[in-house]
Amino acid sequence: MNRFFKYLQVPFVSKTAYEEHQNKFLFPVIDKKWQEEQEAMMEELKTLGEGLHIGGDGRADSPGHSAKYGTYTTMELHLGKVINLQLVQSNEAKNSNWMELEGLKRSIDCLKSYGVELDAIVTDRHRSVAKWIRENLQETKHYFDIWHVAKGLGKKLDKLGQTQDCALVKEWKKSIINHLYWCAASTPDGNPEMMFAKWLSLCNHILGVHDGHSDLFPKCEHGPLAAPREKKWFKPGEKVTVELEKILTDTWRKKDVRQLSPLGQTSSLEGFHSTILHFAPKHTSFQYKGMHYRVILAALHVNENSGRERAYERSGEKQLTVYFSKAKKGEPSVRWETVASTYGE
């Protein structure tokens, strides 16, 4: 490159000068802006008078940077904004579980330094994370991100759908996953027993029985169902019904469904992790500092374009729209309303 410009006799910034400019001017500006943004978010949260509701997600394998860095991102769910970032170098990380927990610990230390209460945390189902939260943050509610719970359930349903005489499960997969999202979305206070009662009503619903479920949740809340039916009802006692009921009521479901997050989902963090690529393309490798500030730039961009439209409704009335993308091999995702990106300030 430099040789090319020399040939043309066009003055060009050298690599050293470029790096010096980055270190002296660009990085301090990003740092200052990020500090200000974090402080402004904390002030806004204090005026809300509630503790933080955070969602955390770690990526040990940020696409394209797998050899070097993992990113742990914390989003504040009232604001729908990235509030904390931890970049962990791969030589520090023993494995992805370690990265997940270490990222969370560092984020929480950092957030606590602002003197705010942590009211609720949404994470995936890493056992080490659940144990640490239980032991160290006893005043904080811990919820599981529905996307992760749905992913595990989806795999089980797929497996069953492939066995003999069980193809009906394939037709029902989307409805079953939708019901999982609905159990949480329709229970804004996160009452574990109510969420589980709603979940169990599915065992009746799939048989075409819509009332007499339980004291807590006696009948289905859907309106009249379309006739003729797109998919058949299950029949009591048949192999496929028995096997499906086993999955719907197994130990994991009993635990996971009671802890489903009625708050915003960490799925929006998925989008953030792909935004990082926009600021730190995979074909270039970066030093720690260079990567660190590029990740922060990505957060500033995402925050500018998220805000209240994407934050969850405090009343809990907002409907979650679940869609099944082909790119994700039919895995469920939550669709947020999107607005055109801006690059202000």
Q: Closest approach of Cβ 169 to Zn ion, in Å? A: 17
Of 151, 150, 130, give the one whose Cα is nearest residue 56.
Answer: 130
Q: Which stretch binds Zn ion (CB under 5 A): 1-9, 218-226, 272-280, 334-342?
A: 218-226
Amino acid at 115: G
Of 102, 107, 106, 79, give the one whose Cα is nearest residue 90.
Answer: 102
Distance CA 340, CA 150 (A): 29
CB closer to Zn ion out of 223 and 344: 223
Q: Minimal CB distance to Zn ion: which residue?
A: 220
Binding status of residue 219 toward Zn ion by CB under 5 A: no
CB closer to Zn ion out of 137 and 220: 220
Residue 79's Cβ-side half-sphere holds a number of Cα atoms within 13 Å equal to: 26
Query: How many residues does the structure list for the chain?
Result: 345
Q: Closest approach of Cβ 52 to Zn ion, in Å? A: 37
Count of beta carbons in the 10 Å neighbourhood of residue 293:
23
H runs (alpha helix) in the chain: 2-8, 15-21, 27-48, 96-112, 127-136, 146-161, 168-185, 192-205, 239-248, 251-258, 267-279, 288-304
Q: Closest approach of Cβ 292 to Zn ion, in Å? A: 51
What mask of x and - would describe binding to Zn ion in positions 270 to 289, judged by CB under 5 A? --------------------
Q: Which residues contact 2 (CB under 8 A, 6 or more apart)?
A: 12, 14
Out of 110, 118, 203, 220, the only residue in the binding site for Zn ion (CB under 5 A) is 220
Q: Closest approach of Cβ 185 to Zn ion, in Å? A: 17
Q: Closest approach of Cβ 60 to Zn ion, in Å? A: 41
Q: Which stretch binds Zn ion (CB under 5 A): 27-35, 147-155, 220-228, 289-297?
A: 220-228
CB closer to Zn ion out of 205 and 292: 205
Site size with Zn ion, rule: CB under 5 A: 3
Q: Closest approach of Cβ 220 to Zn ion, in Å? A: 3
CB closer to Zn ion out of 203 and 220: 220
Distance CA 63, CA 273 (A): 8
Site for Zn ion in 181-210 (CB under 5 A): 205, 210
Q: Which stretch binds Zn ion (CB under 5 A): 159-167, 214-222, 251-259, 313-321?
A: 214-222
Distance CA 75, CA 88 (A): 17
Sheet holding 81-89, edge to edge: 81-89, 69-76, 52-59, 118-123, 141-144
Q: Closest approach of Cβ 149 to Zn ion, in Å? A: 21
- Positions touching Zn ion (CB under 5 A) are 205, 210, 220
